[in-house]
Structure 1
Amino acid sequence: MKEIDIRNVSDFFIGQTEDNTGTTGCTVILSKEGAVAGVDVRGGAPGTRETDLMRSENMVQKVHGLFLAGGSAYGLSAGSGVMQWLEEHHIGFETGPVKVPIVPGAILYDIDPSRPAVRPDAAMGYEAARIAWENPPFSNGRYGAGTGATVGKLFGRENSMKGGIGSYAFQSGKVKVGAVIAVNCFGDVVDPGTGRVVAGLHKNGEFLRTETHLMNNVSTVPVTDSFQGNTTIGVLLTNASLHKSEANKLASISHNGLARTIRPSHTYVDGDTLFTMHGDEVACDVNGLGAMAAFAVEKAVLRAFEH
């Protein structure tokens, strides 16, 4: 196995843009010919667009773009900008009189209390799509959908830490797999190899370990407001050929990478959502691909903090 550039996984184009005055942003992945895609939503508080059409039994087989954005539900507007850019470039699902770009997406909560009106919109989605077509190097950290992300929020923002977005890609034989993950979790980020807390709930320079605190205080009724502002979202990219049903299963398996690195993950107050996009180039064993997918997600989560 060898690490590769996320841009070399397949014929995907990734772009990011952000508004640092409101600490929010958008990340877009485009596919000119369309890509078989899947999705799996595990968190209890998701915000998504066009995920129903990705169900295995539904008609549309490919997506042309996908976005990850901040802004809570307001950030779903970014998808309209991605659609506009794709329509202008004649990319979409052929319906006869017009091509309709298929653009699913997911959002995370990063609204800045001091600038609540600043959030991703159609203009930001359009700009991220334009940048994606230029195929720039991917930036890990406080960029795109990870710009305003935070982690470890059990005791509110003052005891949380900055999150971010990370990418990781690698190759085994002819099969290539990569992940782009925006980390904005309620829990802590933990290196599964060492057990070390990378980022999360802290006080007076010490990590408090969210998972342990929750278990020790399970009889305590939580204050709802302290659980605001969570969700980890991302996309798994591969050159593997899969049917739509397999793509959805791979999205499900990919969540293993979140479970290894985020403690706890998939909580009632997270909206954890992972997509997959497939380049349809190489046949492979789906079980092996699943193992690669979970590993890529795991590494991408950690990369969000290596800046």
Structure 2
Amino acid sequence: MSENRTLTGVPGFQVGHWTDTQARTGCTVILCPPEGAVASASFLGPSPGTREGVLLSTDKKIERIHALLLTGGSAFGLSAAGGVVRVLEERGVGHQTPWARVPLVPAAVIYDLGVGRADIRPGEAQGEHAARTASADPVPRGLVGAGTGATAGKYLGGGVPGGLGSVLLERHGVRVGALAVVNPIGDVLDERGGVLAGPGVGPGAAAFTPGDVQNTTLIAVVTEHTLSKGECRRLADAAQAALARVIHPSHTPWDGDSAFVLSAATLPPADPLLLVALVQEAVCAAVRDAVRAARNP
């Protein structure tokens, strides 16, 4: 088993952060192997904030992406993907077209503008920093990167730190890594169903209306095992289902959850039932890891 028990324990993937602890925002980049990773995604909730998310639909031509950006700053933060594209272009990484290689970098955001400073958001320079500092070292977790301003349990207002978490699970030679940015309106539950983060009394306990408060949990799952784009999509759906096990309530009218699954496709296909089980366990573990790491920096 790998000593690195985070997403980067899966060979070929690297992670980098940019963090502003004063403004309480940041961004996180997952770099794929140079040849890219087969990828798809599942988006639930009324207001997911994404860039190039439509490329990940199973009916679209493109199969491989070259990096994934998870970021704070709401829609403003999507511009950080431009900095990632710049770094990949310099390295000659991208989808080959007749005149240039074009790096494909989908992105998804959380809304953290009300936590720190709304006028400071990740941009191209910050995305570039995250990409240039990405490595295969164990992923720094807690109030870092896209999880810097993430909060949970906000249905009574306020909220508690949600953070960024990452795990690696391995069973019978099958390995998956997961990374979670935890910013839900609901509570985060522990392994026994108790409240790990949040008020724990449930919506309706007080006269609070979320209104325009925006909430999103972002999930990235990676594996070496060969998957088709359609199989990545089904595993992304499984990842979304796992959120319902660890967040209560989940997928509310005020959540815009995004789950991405990336396959390096360097190993033969794995047993699909085992993969589904590992993906769901990894998602739950990464969400809990985020909260625990944010609480104990």
TM-score if structure 1 supplies the norm length?
0.90
**SS of equivalent residue, structure 2 residue 105:** coil
Equivalent residues in 2 for 1:249-260, closer than 5 Å: 249-260=234-245
1:209 paired to 2:188: no
- Count residues in correspondence: 290
Displacement of 1:4: 5.0
**SS of equivalent residue, structure 1 residue 248:** helix
- Gaps spanning 5+ residues in structure 1: where? 202-207
1:295 to 1:3, Cα distance in 2 relative to 1, 3 A: farther
CA contact (8 A) 1:15 1:136 kept: no
TM-score if structure 2 supplies the norm length?
0.93
Cα distance in 1, alignment partners of residues 249 and 124 from structure 2: 33
Which residue of structure 2 aligns with residue 117 of structure 1? 119
Cα distance in 2, alignment partners of residues 173 and 4 from structure 1: 18
Displacement of 1:155: 2.2
Cα distance in 2, alignment partners of residues 263 and 161 from structure 1: 15
Equivalent residues in 2 for 1:18-29, closer than 5 Å: 18-29=19-30
CA contact (8 A) 2:9 2:138 kept: no
Cα distance in 2, alignment partners of residues 114 and 181 from structure 1: 20
Cα distance in 2, alignment partners of residues 197 and 238 from structure 1: 30
CA contact (8 A) 1:23 1:112 kept: no
Which residue of structure 2 aligns with residue 277 of structure 1? 262
Equivalent residues in 2 for 1:149-160, closer than 5 Å: 149-157=150-158, 160=159
Which residue of structure 1 aligns with residue 169 of structure 2? 170
Of 115, 127, 130, 2:129 maps to 127
CA contact (8 A) 1:4 1:171 kept: no
- Please list the CA deviations of residues 226-259 of structure 1 after superposition, one character each: whole Å capped at 9, or x if unmatched: x503110020111111111111111001112211
- Gaps spanning 5+ residues in structure 2: where? none
CA contact (8 A) 1:92 1:101 kept: yes
1:94 to 1:114, Cα distance in 2 relative to 1, 3 A: closer
Of 268, 278, 281, 1:292 maps to 278
Which residue of structure 1 aligns with residue 184 of structure 2? 185
Displacement of 1:112: 3.7
Cα distance in 1, alignment partners of residues 3 and 233 from structure 2: 25
Which residue of structure 1 aligns with residue 217 of structure 2? 232
Displacement of 1:75: 0.7
Cα distance in 2, alignment partners of residues 46 and 89 from structure 1: 30
**SS of equivalent residue, structure 2 residue 36:** strand
Displacement of 1:195: 1.7
Cα distance in 2, alignment partners of residues 145 and 114 from structure 1: 13
Letter in 1 for 2:170: Q
Displacement of 1:3: 8.0
Which residue of structure 2 aligns with residue 59 of structure 1? 61
Identity %: 41
**SS of equivalent residue, structure 1 residue 305:** helix
Letter in 2 for 1:298: C
Displacement of 1:224: 4.5
Letter in 1 for 2:27: C
Displacement of 1:174: 2.4
1:197 to 1:123, Cα distance in 2 relative to 1, 3 A: same
CA contact (8 A) 1:22 1:112 kept: no
CA contact (8 A) 1:167 1:303 kept: yes
Letter in 1 for 2:167: Y
CA contact (8 A) 2:24 2:116 kept: no
Q: CA RMSD for the aligned pairs?
A: 1.8
1:304 paired to 2:296: no
Cα distance in 2, alignment partners of residues 15 and 113 from structure 1: 22
CA contact (8 A) 1:16 1:144 kept: yes
- Please list the CA deviations of residues 80-127 of structure 1 after superposition, one character each: whole Å capped at 9, or x if unmatched: 111111011110000021110000010000014662111111111111
1:282 to 1:118, Cα distance in 2 relative to 1, 3 A: same
1:94 paired to 2:96: yes
Cα distance in 2, alignment partners of residues 248 and 67 from structure 1: 18
1:115 to 1:181, Cα distance in 2 relative to 1, 3 A: same
Equivalent residues in 2 for 1:29-108, closer than 5 Å: 29-31=30-32, 32-108=34-110
Displacement of 1:46: 0.6
Displacement of 1:262: 0.4
Displacement of 1:44: 1.9
